[in-house]
Every structure is written in C-alpha cells, then in structure tokens.
Structure 1
Amino acid sequence: MIFKAARIQILTLLICCNLLPQTVSAQQDSTLWRVKAGDIIPPVSLAVAGLVVQGKVSRSLQREVRSQYPGFHTNADDFLPYAPGIVSLGLASAGVKGKHSLDDQVILALLSNIGAQVVTQGLKRAVKYPRPDGEDNHSFPSGHTTTAFANAEILHQEYGGRSVLYSIGGYGTATAVGAMRILNNKHWLADVLMGAGIGMGATKVFYISYPWLKQKVSRKRKSTPAY
C-alpha cells in the first residue's frame, strides 16, 4: 500500500508538471486568457489534500464510517452528480441570463465533463488502487465526485455571479455526492478529494480557455475556402 500511495503521488505530480507549462505558455500567447489565484488555489488544494490523506488517514476514516453506518446504502450518488449542470442548462433554456448563451453552455458542459473524466479514468487505470469494498482496483480518483464537482463549477461559473445560492447549491450537492461515495463504501476520502480537484480544475481550465478556443475556431472557419 505504501508503494501504491507513492506511485499515486508521482503520477499526479507528473500530470501537474506536464499541464502547468502548457497553461503558462497559452496565457502568454493570448490576452484572452485570464487566470486568477481563485482559479488555481481551490482545485490544487483539493488535489494536494487527496494525496496527503492517501493511505492511513483514509483507511482510518473508512473504518470509523463503516462502524457508525454499517448498513448505509443509497443510489442517489448515481444521479446527483449531474444535477448542478442540469440546473444551469435549465436556467439558460428558461431565458435566465448566465455568463454564456445556452449553446456555449452545452459546449462547455461537454468539454468540462469529458476532459475531467479523461484525467480521472486515466489515473484509475494507471494507479489501480483497490476500493474499500474490494469490488475492483479502480478506486482512485472518484469518477462520481469528479462529475459532481465539474457540474457544480459550471453552475458557479454561469450563475454564481447572480446569486451565491447557486454556488452553495452546486457545491453542496457535489459535496453530498462525495460523502455518499464514502458512506456507500465505494471510495476512500483521498479518492473523493482528488476527484473534486480534478472536476473543478478541468471546468476552470475550459472556462478560462474558451474565449481563446472560440477565436481559434472562428479564424479557422474564415480561412477555410468555400466551395
């Protein structure tokens, strides 16, 4: 288990080292990129916390949870991860103005969820950490929590400026999903924290880079000859 924990940390650090230079380079290449400390600190803090509690801390918490709630089971964590994103798209469909139009929100939702899952599923297969219930070796990070926080970040980005209640509702739902994954004995605390960091971070990356991506697509369309 010590070896697995060390391998998790090495793999995650390699991913971070690979992504950071690209982000800095992109920021220098275009003034469309706007990166603030608030975009970096929350997801990185969650990911680092996931590494810190990996192993002994997570196992100790899991034993305590199982002793306190031995019969706990719910399927709500299979549906709630999508709720914040659905709320955001529903508001846009109803004409409530967000940061982006409905069409752009759909694109951002797809990019954020797919991007977050690519990272999460890649780590699952590389790390091969066992679940608490022993079902398989795809525990780290939590895919459900990744999805929940990716969609919570979408709701926050689009409507958090209109009312903090949207942000509270989205992040609260995502946190509940993470808690249920632990209570259902499907994930360790480390899995949930890392999943939260990946989900939030991936969404922030796509929201930051979206103006630049739109500009690139627009230029490519203009440069393509019509037949």
Structure 2
Amino acid sequence: MKKQLYIWALLLTAICQNSCAQVITAVDSMVVVPTKSKPFNYKQFILPVTLMTYSIIGLESESIKSINSGLREEITEHIDKKITIDDFSQYAPALTVYALNNLGIKGQHNLRDRSIILATSYLLMTSVVLPLKNISHIERPDGSSYNSFPSGHTATAFVGAEFLWQEYKDVSVWYGISGYIVAAGTGAFRIYNNRHWLTDVTMGAGIGILSTKIAYWTFPYINRMFQRKNSQNTGMISPFYNGKQLGIGMILNTK
C-alpha cells in the first residue's frame, strides 16, 4: 500500500508541475491579461517540491522515519502540557492581509481579487490534503487516528504565509517573512503537541505554498469567470480545513 502511495504521490507532483505549465501557457495566450500578472518562473517550484519530495520519500525511508521517531521521543520527554495556539495561528497569515489593507496598507490586489486567489488556494490545498489523508492512512504520533499525513493545520498556515508574501513583498519583505515565521511555528507546534510527524508538517508546508503559487499563476484565467459587467456587489465563498473540521467562510464586498 505504501509503495502504491509513493508512486501515486510522485505522479501527483509531476502532473501538478505539468498542469501548471499548461495553464500558464494558456493564460499567456489570452488577449486580455491583467497588468498585475507576472511571468511564470519555474524556480518558484524549488522550495515546495523539495519539501514534498522529502516527505514522500520519508514514507518508505527508514532513516527519515528514525528522524521522525527520534524527534517525537525528544519532544515528548520535555512536554509539560500542550499548547493549542496552532488552532488559531494557522489562520493568522491570511487574516493579516485583510488587516493590513484595513489599516490603509495596500497590497497587490483589491478585496475581490485577493479573495478569489485565497479561495482558489484553499480549494487546491484541500483537494490534495483530504485525499492524501485517506489514502496514506498514517497513524498520528499520539495514536488518536490514522489521518496524520499531511498536516492540514500546516498546509493552511503556509497557504496564508505565501498569500501574505505575494500581496506585500513589494511593500516590505518583512511582512512575508513574518508570515512564514508564524506558519513555521504552526508546524512546530503540531509536532510539539504530538499531533504530527515531521514529514507530515513538511508535506503540508509544500502543499500550502504550491497551492497559493498556482492560485496566483492561474488568477488571470479564473478572474474571467468571476467578471460581471455592471455589477456593484461581489462575494466569495472560501473553503477551509483545520485538520478536524471542514467548512466554508463567506466574504462580501458591497459598493
């Protein structure tokens, strides 16, 4: 079963890369392209694909499994009590984008456009995380369930971190860096709280980053589906997943 998962996950990564290239090519060929769209850069794949590849290899690698076990044993020996801040910090980077805008610090996109991008990111992330949890059937470190791989909290946090980076990196890189620090902290607390293995966290991080990057690359195409001439009201329904609950949020923009 693990060998089948290993092969399936590698194929998923390859298909994702190929699909992204095809989508971007289609977007570039459109007559109308938003002025804020930027050229596709394959180098941006390096970090998320590296994280995902490490995690996938870790499903079969005894050396990586020993790292998981050693880290868990080291942490559990020094844990006094659990800290559940990760249930809230996973949303902090994404919410920061809206908070900064409300403070008058403008990002790359307006409310409508950024909400479409964020919703697309969450949709892509959830469509990968949920099936992988069911297919991998990896037991959590605390033995509570068999849906450990990958970490949904971490994926959610890194979706927001990349979202914050993309929106505000041209204003100040420190906004994006702070978002990634919070996301990394969320993943660390998932390990600290004995809810995930290291490879669960790295896989969640890779999926989260890649999901948001794809959302930005494909936004010019997706935006065409949301354009409504002479419309004064816009809305967006955004799915979310925090590791236990799956739900939706709604954002309305009335002019």
TM-score calculated relative to the size of structure 2: 0.79
**Matched residues in 2 for 1:30 and 1:104: separation?**
16
Counterpart of 1:102 (choices 104, 107, 111) is 111
Correspondences of 1:1-227 after superposition (within 5 Å): 4=2, 6-31=3-28, 34-54=39-59, 55-67=65-77, 69-215=78-224, 217-218=226-227
**Stretches (4+) displaced over 4 A:** none
- Bigger strand share: 2
CA distance in structure 2 between the aligned counterparts of 1:123 and 1:52, rounded to whole angstroms: 15
Change (3 A) 1:61 1:53: farther
Q: 1:113 to 1:30 in 2, by over 3 A?
A: closer
TM-superposed deviation, 1:216 = 5.1
Q: 3-state SS of the aligned residue for 1:211?
A: helix
Cα offset for 1:20?
2.6
Alignment check: 8 A CA contact 1:83 1:151 kept: yes
Q: Deviations over 1:29-64 (max 9, x none)?
A: 231573213421111111112224442321222122
Distance 2:189 2:210 in 1: 21
Q: Give me the whole-angstrom Cα distance separating, in 1, the residues matched to 2:43 and 2:90.
A: 23
- % identical aligned pairs: 36
Identify the structure with bigger relative contact order (alpha carbons < 8 Å, sequence gap 6+).
1
Matches of 2:108 and 2:46, distance apart in 1: 22
Structure 1 CA distance, aligned partners of 2:206 and 2:115? 22
Structure 1 unaligned spans of 5+: 223-227
Q: Deviations over 1:52-93 (max 9, x none)?
A: 4442321222122222x2334011000000001111011123
- The letter for the 1-side match of 2:95 is I
* One-letter amino acid of the structure 1 residue matched with residue 18 of structure 2: P
1:16 partner amino acid: T
For 1:83 and 1:30, the matched residues in 2 are separated by 31
Please identify, of 168-177 and 69-78, the stretch whose mean Cα deviation from structure 2 is larger: 69-78
Mark the CA change 1:37 to 1:20 in structure 2 (over 3 Å): closer, same or farther: closer
Question: Cα distance 1:30–1:105, how it changes in 2: closer, same or farther (>3 A)?
Answer: closer
- Relative to the length of structure 1, the TM-score reads 0.88
Of 17-26 and 113-122, more deviation after overlay is shown by: 17-26
Name structure 2 gaps, 5 residues minimum.
Answer: 60-64, 230-255
